[in-house]
A and B are shown apart, each in its own frame.
Chain A
Amino acid sequence: MQTRVGFEIQQGDHSIFLLIEGIIFLICGLFFVWMYYLNVKDAWKVGQWRDQGGKTNSFKETLRVLIDKGFPYFLLTPSIVFTAFLTILPLIFGIAIAFTNYSGPNHLPPASLVDWVGFQTFVDLFNLKTWNRTFIGVFGWTILWAISATVTTFFVGILFAVLLNSKGIKFRKFWRSIYILPWAIPSFVSILIMRNLFNGEFGPINQYLEVIGLSSIPWLSDPMWAKFALIMVNVWFGFPFWMVLMSGVMTSIDRELYEAAQVDGANGKQQFWKITMPIVMFSTAPLLIMQFAGNFNNFNLIYLMTNGGPVNVDYSYAGSTDILISWIYKLTLDQSQFNMASVVSILIFIVIAIISVWNFRRTKAFNEEDMMS
């Protein structure tokens, strides 16, 4: 707590700095203990070797052994340092914050201290009406968004891959390079462009609608239309990725399969569903799941396109199109609800982790023999 002595303000303990410093010390301490353990172990080994009458290495020889045997550690040190301080430290801190009351307006250092509150914030999220209404609403939309964004881009992508690979298409390369554009243009630029295209008052889409005699649509100011616009825009962004990927897969399918199918009298539709589709699904399924996880956390599209809006009076600190990740962003940067933001991000992690673990178990990475040995 900060206190005032005469005219001087005495800074109290800054709980958050203390917490961070504590975690830094913990990480460094663990490194130190581990090094110490290796030292002791090595000394014991050398001692035993000497007892048996072996010759110990001279300093020069030690250096040579160090470079030879220790080479992987040299290679890894920079990455370990970076990962420890920029990935692991923030994660531990984030998890710790979820169990404190670090939030505005009453628990913000340096004006006041932060306390441990255990699972209270988790309980609040599920029990307090203002929080759980927002959470359920936002979570539901996040799931709906992630599924529809993934499925629509996947099917539009496969449709155009099939179309481009079908017989008798002229200027194949030309079409392909046009269709790749949405993927190639930096996404934040095209999202901001889309935001203007869909502008309710000045946007060209509404102007064209009026020219052909239809009434303009409140694209970004009505919750339903805003959600619809987001999914549409996402198709524009997402389909080239799948199209390119699947074109690659399709061209590598053995022609003889189709010839054999034709001999057996299968038509185009049967060939597609029985040959193309299973092969394409088999080789793109892991990416489909990665894409789902990506859409689940697609902050850029939501934040830059609608800013989470339109305003929803039932939610606390979230708009109608906010997904969990953009809600966390608002909770953190605009509202200083750090503890609640941490709780929600832990919940996101659980969802993503379940999906990823399930995904990795099915792929080779997890079953690779030298990984398990």
Chain B
Amino acid sequence: MKQKTRERISFVWKHFLLLVVAIFVLYPVVWILMGSLNPGDSLFSAQLLPGMEWGLFWEGVRSFDFAQIAQSVKGIRLSLDHFVYLIQKTEYVTWYKNTLKIALWNMVISTFLVVTAAYAFSRFRFPGRKEGLMAMLILQMFPGFMGMIAIYILLLQMGLLDNHWGLILVYAGGSIPFNAWLVKGYFDSMPRSLEEAAKIDGAGHFTIFFKVMMPLSVPILVFVAVSNFIGPWMDFIFARLVLRSNENKTLAIGLFEMVTGRGNTEFTTFAAGAVLVALPITILFMAFQKYMVEGLKAGANK
């Protein structure tokens, strides 16, 4: 076989493989999008393109008759009814607001706690430092909800059960050990001469922290902030544990109950809800993808 034919064959099968896997990856995404626009209301009747006349379509393709193709597409009936229903008839908007509130506050509080702790551990030598680092290393190994019962009772006693602040505190507390290690590793890699120069110029602790360190650590700060923002959107366990009443629920719980509670009857409403949650998070993730990958790599290599 000639070199050229062999290259051509490998070109074809590689692209064939890429295409097949792309279909597998995209199928659930397309299916849910179509589900949300489908006029019916159950999983059973969800078609990929409702009302599409496939026979007419293929005939049009075969004879290169564009008018016929256009004719076949005309019958497609898509509706936004489920989105309207979701917003008007369910508590969806409330759940959305709750989740957004929890995510934003968690992002602010966690990032603050993590950055201050990491800065102290990275830039200062003080009695208790070594023990502190060791403790964080060990704490990070415990599965998050080993202390579930205790957190439940603690929040009950403080009157924070079924309260968003209780949940925010739980998330913020849990994020410290791992993220502080990560950020400390990043701070360690920055040269010390920077602060020494600033100190000679008469800068105090706060000036050094805000004017020198912060601007230089944007990538890792973005990583910590974004991952703490996304965390509450994904979490199911703690939200279920802490939040009880319907008006306090987060999206994860609300949507879960929509498809498991009443025997899949609300499938298309769920689909609309899923699209509305997934869209902003997916865009956010894609936008900060570079930081996410780098943050993870930093976590592994330090």
Contacts and interface: CB of A to CB of B under 8 A. Distances in A.
B50 to A, nearest CB: 14
A91 B135 CA distance: 13
A76 B17 contact: no
B222 interface: no
A160 B21 CA distance: 10
A204 B119 contact: no
A32 interface: no
B146 A83 contact: no
Most chain-A CB neighbours within 10 Å: which of B146, B151, B188, B230?
B146
Interface string A84-97: 01111111011001
Interface string B219-255: 0000000000010011011001100000000001001
A190 interface: yes
Contacts of B296: 245, 287
Contact of B176 (A75, A82, A303, A363): A82
B289 A180 contact: yes
B104 interface: no
B210 interface: no
B11 interface: yes
B169 interface: yes
Contacts of B7: 168
Please classify the interface of chain A as helix (H, G, I), strand (E, B), loop, or mixed, using the class held by over half of its residues. helix
A79 B117 contact: yes
Contact of B139 (A67, A83, A160, A188): A83
Interface residues of B, number: 94
Interface in A318-350: 325, 328-329, 332-333, 338, 341-342, 345, 348-349
Place the interface of chain A in its size category. Answer: 35 or more
A23 to B, nearest CB: 8
A189 B253 CA distance: 11
A71 interface: yes
A352 B139 CA distance: 11
Contacts of A93: 147, 149-150, 153
B254 to A, nearest CB: 11
Interface in A174-214: 175, 177-190, 192-197, 199, 202-204
A64 to B, nearest CB: 11
A72 B125 CA distance: 8
A328 B142 CA distance: 14
A6 interface: no
A136 interface: no
A86 B119 CA distance: 21
Contacts of B302: 363-365
